[in-house]
């Protein structure tokens, strides 16, 4: 159960950093119910071991991300049900021929890409 609490604190830390609302280290440690040294250990772990782009902005004052990283802790709903994942073929030319006639290519209309370049623009 102790690990679960630590994961919740990590998610809360990430949320505060994203909002640039951590406050100074003492305030952040108090919010997360950690000692100041434990907070520094966690931040060092995130930066060194996990590659988190965390830095402290003394003008704000808050920890901030140098760029918006992707960090997910939790579960999200799949866009496709797992049963439908097995129906994906990866673009095989044999898949789906019942639905689409591969010989009927509608992209080969009368487009000549040379017509896209107009030399009349040189008159400016």
Rounded-to-integer distance, Cα 13 and Cα 20, Å = 10
Tens of pLDDT, residue by residue over 67-112, are 998 877 666 666 666 666 667 676 655 555 555 555 555 555 555 5
- Nearest Cα neighbor of 23 from 44, 39, 4 is 39
**How far from 7 is each of 3, 10, 28, 35, 112, CA to CA, in Å?**
6, 5, 16, 16, 58
Long-range contacts of 7-15, Cβ-Cβ distance < 8 Å, separation of 24 or more:
7/73, 9/33, 9/34, 9/42, 10/42, 10/73, 11/73, 11/74, 13/42, 14/71, 14/73
Tokens of 29: 């440690």
Q: Is the dihedral of CA 59, 27, 19, 49 positive or negative?
A: positive
Tokens of 43: 């931040």
Burial class (CB within 10 angstroms; exposed 0-12, middle 13-18, buried 19+) of 61: middle
Tens of pLDDT, residue by residue over 9-64, are 998 999 999 999 999 999 999 999 999 999 999 999 999 988 999 999 999 999 99
- Nearest Cα neighbor of 6 from 51, 38, 54 is 38
Global pTM value: 0.57
């Amino acid at each position: 159960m102790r690990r679960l609490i630590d994961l919740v604190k990590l998610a809360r830390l990430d949320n505060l950093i994203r909002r640039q609302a951590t406050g100074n280290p003492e305030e952040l440690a108090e919010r997360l119910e950690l000692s100041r040294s434990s907070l520094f250990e966690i931040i060092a772990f995130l930066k060194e071991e996990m590659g988190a782009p965390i830095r402290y902005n003394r003008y704000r004052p808050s920890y901030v991300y140098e760029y918006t990283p992707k960090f997910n802790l939790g579960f999200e709903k799949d866009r496709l049900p797992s049963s439908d994942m097995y129906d994906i073929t990866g673009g095989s030319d044999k898949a789906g021929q019942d639905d689409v006639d591969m010989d009927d290519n509608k992209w080969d209309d009368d487009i000549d890409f040379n017509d896209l370049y107009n030399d009349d623009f040189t008159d400016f």
